[in-house]
Structure 1
Amino acid sequence: MQSMTLQEIAQAVDGTLTFGGEIRVDEISTDTRKIRGGSLYLALKGERFDGHDFISKAIEAGARAVVSDRPVECSCPVIQVPDTRLALGTLAAYYRQKFSLLTVGVTGSVGKTSTKEMIAAVLAQGFCVHKTQGNFNNDIGLPMTLFGLEPQHTAAVIEMGMSALGEISYLSQLAKPDLAVITNVGVSHLENLGSRENILKAKLEILDGMSPNSKIVLNADNDMLQSVRDSLGERAVWFGIEQKDGFVFAEHIEEDGDKTRFDFVCGGERYPAMVPAVGIHNVYNALAGFTVGMFSGIAPEKIVAAIGEYQNSGLRQSVREYDGIKVIADCYNASPDSMQSALSVIRTISCSGKRYAVLGDMLELGECSGEMHYKVGKLAAKAGLSGLLCYGEEAKQIARGALEAGFDLTESCTSLQEAVNWLHRVLRPGDAVILKASRGMHLESVIESAFEKAGGQ
């Protein structure tokens, strides 16, 4: 982060500074465990904590100044504001405006992070790229992402998540995207939003921080996005696989071992491409990356090369081998759409042995949860598996769906240790297994206990 004076910060957030206006800070911190010298500690209040309780600790750790929503007696300067969370966003928006750079906003029910990573890889062919790290995509994480901007950056890829209406509108107005991408509209957060129509409305809020002439990149194969084709008009840029009337589409899709080969077709030209991952969802991610790259002036040959070197990050369908067993970790989030993608991956991934799946609860589905888990079970029954373990209370409906579809190689459990025991019992060298559930189910702990602690490579 470029340094700013306390006086500048106080003016930006309309706060009252006690003293020390010329003091400079070069980092904003909301976590006392990560404070270093030169930091401004911003005390946030959450449901289970109050950062104001840790102000003394922040100063001891080296914080140069504090942002608070109440008077504070301390030896360092204090900027007092009505609401520290809003001040964080206001300051991030102010800091963002210091930079002239191409900014791409990414949202969607499924595939936000993978698409963000692919777009960043593509833009790196012609820009110095800053991107959202991890899951910093909410009203705290996105401002912290913006504070990571430096003078050398010429592009930023900013992920935006939400769980309620109004959230993406706020984030978009902080980031001010030049281009936006909506990967799809599914059923994630249905519990909070009530309908897919409301989910669509929430995703389209990404337009609120954009100029009227800016473009939004959309998946033409998604039924909900198609419903706004007429209203968006020429503002929308479409990609697809089934729909071939947009800016770019993919065809001749073939899975080759752990890779997916296909052709981009754009403007009458054909560009053979490869993604080093399996699953049709990765082709959609690549189409979004191709579209953003083309509209950003990257040559198509460079786009194809960047996509060919793409790597999944974190807990999102990373593939590792432990003692000859191929393990696909997809433990970050889960919805019916991403479950279907996961089953497609395990059905087609290359292995010399058998294929298995551990499917856990999909959270935040509201009243439709039972029905949606049941439908996933029906899909799992057709995925060519040699065994299915359903982990969690909601996942019992996955088991019911699979069993009623005639797949009797189905078991259920409610503890992580039971899942570990099942994996040890059924897996043999040459086999492949995918583990998929919402982040709150902590399936990565199963992988750690079953494989990593056992000394696999």
Structure 2
Amino acid sequence: MKELTLKKLAAWCGGDVDPAWENVKVTGTQIDSRLVREGDLFIAIPGEKVDGHDFLAKAREAGAAAALVSRRMDDPLPQILVLDTVLAYGDIARSYREEAAVDVVAITGSVGKTTTKEMIACVLAGKYRVSKTQGNHNNNLGLPITILEMPADTQEAVLELGMNHFGEMHYLTEIAKPNVVVITNIGTMHIEHLGTREGILKAKLEIMDGIQPDGIAVFNGDEPLLWNLREGKHKRIYFGIENDQCDVVAEDVKQMDGGVYFIARGLGQRFHVYVPQEGQHTVYNALAAIAVGLLRGVSPDSIQYQLGIFHNTGMRQRIFEENGFTIIEDCYNAGPESMEAALKVLKEHKAEGRRIAVLGDMLELGSRTMAEHYRVGRLAAQAAQLVLAYGKDSQRIITGAITGGMSAKCAVHYDSQEEMASSLKRLARPGDVLLFKGSRGMRMEKVLEMFLADEKA
């Protein structure tokens, strides 16, 4: 973040600052007093369990230059007083973004937005200095953090925007003011709060509320709900595999060498692509990145190279060998669409032994919970020889697997992760391919850790 005075920050957020403190300068922001760096503006966030206002002294001792507060504190640390520190933080980020000479790509979608964000950032890095959302900083606090942490020389910012309810995306996009908007797909994640897929579409489309007047929307053209939006105020670019009317399409898709090969065609270009990550969903993510890259003037040769060296982050799909097993780790999150995609990867992955699906609950599905878990179970029966499930809703996965033709001996539900890991230790054999997947709240990576720890013992 570039150096800013409290006077300027107060003007941006409508805050009040003592004249004696107006020329105090800050060089960063932080919402956690334990992570404060020298020169930071500490944002005092009132929470349900803790109140950031109680940690001003710790922030000052750690080197904070000032604090953003919603009540004046008896502390020598310079302060900007506002009505709501969260909203004021957003106002500061909005103004900072408006002053920055940076183009913004904003990404949302029910599935794949984080991996797509990573791929787009990777592609753009072939030509520009890129800043991107770190981790899952995609909400009303994470977005300001990302924007205000951008290095001063950033040329392209790739921002992930997430939401659970109506109105949240509108708030975020008005801060981000994107030049390019990407919607990866419309699934059923958060349907508990948004009612229907059409409701999810409406909430996702709020991302268009903040787009620049000359902005461009990049949509998945294989999604009928998005394909039906071809007419609009802003230019649309569509990508797809099945719909050959899309602007950017993948041809001759092949799964090999631990990744996907295809020919990318569109926007006046045609070139071969290899991405070292398996699954059809990888092709969709790459097509979005290719579309954005071509729109931003990245050459096909550079796009080809950047995607060829792409590596995913965190617990998003990672395939590796350990102790004679092939592990497909995909534990970051799960909804019906991403679960189906992961099971397809398992089904198509070369296996010397058996394929084993180790699955956890899919959360926030509302009235569709039972039906979707049952459907996943039936899909799992076609993809694996063993299905193990954990969580209160995952009993329906087992029911679906058995009705899908799997023996009851090969489809087992567990009440604890420890029991599941212990059983998996007994069942799995070298040469087997194991998929671990579930919603973030299920923490299926813990099962994987216990399983591998047992194997190493």
Normalising by structure 1, we get a TM-score of 0.96
Which segment is superposed worse, 344-353 or 260-269?
260-269
Q: State the shift of 1:209 in Å.
A: 1.1
In 2, distance between residues paired with 1:370 and 1:429?
A: 34
Assess, with a 3 A threshold, how the Cα gap between structure 1 residues 268 and 158 changes in structure 2: closer, same or farther: closer
Q: CA deviation at 1:452?
A: 4.6
2:451 is aligned to: 450
Which residue number corresponds to residue 314 of structure 1?
314
Amino acid paired to 1:203 = K
What per-residue deviation string (whole Å, max 9, x for no partner) do you get for residues 103-147 of structure 1?
100100000000001001110111010000110000000110001
Q: What is the Cα deviation at residue 213 of structure 1?
A: 2.9
Letter in 1 for 2:99: K
Distance 1:208 1:28 in 2: 27
Q: Could you tell me which residue of structure 1 aligns to residue 399 of structure 2?
A: 400
Give the number of aligned pairs.
454
Q: Alpha-carbon deviation of 1:221?
A: 0.6
Query: CA separation in 2, counterparts of 1:442 and 1:106?
Result: 25
Code of the aligned partner of 2:357: A
Aligned AA (1:327)? I
Distance 2:424 2:6 in 1: 55
> C-alpha distance in 1, partners of 2:195/2:185?
17
* Deviation of 1:98 (Å): 2.4
Aligned to 2:253: 253
Measured after TM superposition, the shift of residue 54 of structure 1 is 2.0
Tell me the SS of whatever aligns to 2:226.
helix
When residues 227 and 422 of structure 1 are mapped into structure 2, their CA distance, relative to the original with a 3 A threshold, is: farther
Partner of 2:272: 272
| 1:228 positional shift | 2.1
- 1:411 shift after superposition: 0.5
Q: Which amino acid aligns with 2:360?
A: G
Shift of 1:328: 1.3
- The structural deviation recorded for 1:348 is 1.3
Contact 2:213–2:234 (CA under 8 A) maintained in structure 1: no
Query: 2:367 corresponds to which letter in structure 1?
Result: E
Instruction: Give the unaligned 5+ runs of structure 2.
Output: none
**Shift, 1:223, TM fit:** 2.2
- The residue type paired with residue 182 of structure 2 is V
Per the alignment, in what secondary structure is the counterpart of residue 251 of structure 1? strand
Whether 1:74 aligns to 2:75 is yes
Q: Which residue is 2:302 aligned to?
A: 302
Shift in Å at residue 162 of structure 1? 0.4
Shift of 1:320: 2.3
Structure 1 residues 284-329: Cα deviation after superposition (integer angstroms, max 9, x where no partner): 0010011001100011121122111111110001122211211111
**Conserved in 2, the CA contact under 8 Å of 1:357 and 1:435?**
yes
Q: Structure 1, residues 198-248: CA drift from partner, whole Å, max 9, x if none?
A: 110111111111123311000011122123223x37621111111011111
Q: Distance in 1 between matches of 2:78 and 2:96?
A: 20
After TM superposition, the structure 1 stretch with the greater mean CA deviation from structure 2, 1-10 or 52-61, is 52-61
Q: Does 1:55 align with 2:59?
A: no
Equivalent residues in 2 for 1:156-171, closer than 5 Å: 156-171=157-172
SS in 2 for 1:143: helix
- The one-letter code sitting in structure 1 at the alignment partner of 2:389 is C
Instruction: Compute the displacement of 1:414 (Å).
Output: 2.0
- Matching residue of 1:420: 421
Question: Shift of residue 431 of structure 1?
Answer: 1.4
**What SS class does the counterpart of residue 229 from structure 1 fall into?**
coil
Local SS of the residue matching 1:11: helix
* SS state at 1:263 partner: strand
Offset at residue 269 of structure 1 (A): 4.8
RMSD between aligned alpha carbons? 1.5
Question: Is residue 434 of structure 1 aligned with residue 435 of structure 2?
Answer: yes
Are 1:278 and 1:348, in contact at CA under 8 Å, matched by a contact in 2? no
Decide whether the 8 Å contact of 2:214 with 2:234 is kept in 1: no
Q: Deviations over 1:421-441 (max 9, x none)?
A: 122112222211111100000
**Deviation of residue 454 (structure 1)?**
4.8
Aligned residue in 2 for 1:335:
335
Counterparts of residues 63-212 of structure 1 (less than 5 Å): 63-212=64-213
Shift in alpha-carbon separation, 1:20–1:453, aligned structure 2, 3 A: farther
Tell me the SS of whatever aligns to 1:382: helix
* Greater alpha carbon shift after TM alignment, 440-449 vs 52-61: 52-61
Secondary structure at the aligned position of 1:79 is classed as strand
Whole-Å separation in 2 of the counterparts to 1:234 and 1:175? 17
Q: For 2:411, give the aligned amino acid.
A: T
Aligned counterparts of 2:355 and 2:456: Cα–Cα separation in 1: 22
Identity of aligned residues (%): 43
Q: Residue 359 of structure 1: SS of its match in structure 2?
A: strand
Aligned to 2:387: 388
**Residue matched to 1:34:** 35
Partner SS, residue 381 of structure 1: helix
Question: What is the match of residue 361 of structure 2?
Answer: 361
Distance 1:63 1:151 in 2: 20
The normalised TM-score by structure 2 is 0.96
Compared with structure 1, are the counterparts of its residues 80 and 90 closer, same or farther at alpha carbon in structure 2 (3 Å cutoff)?
Answer: same
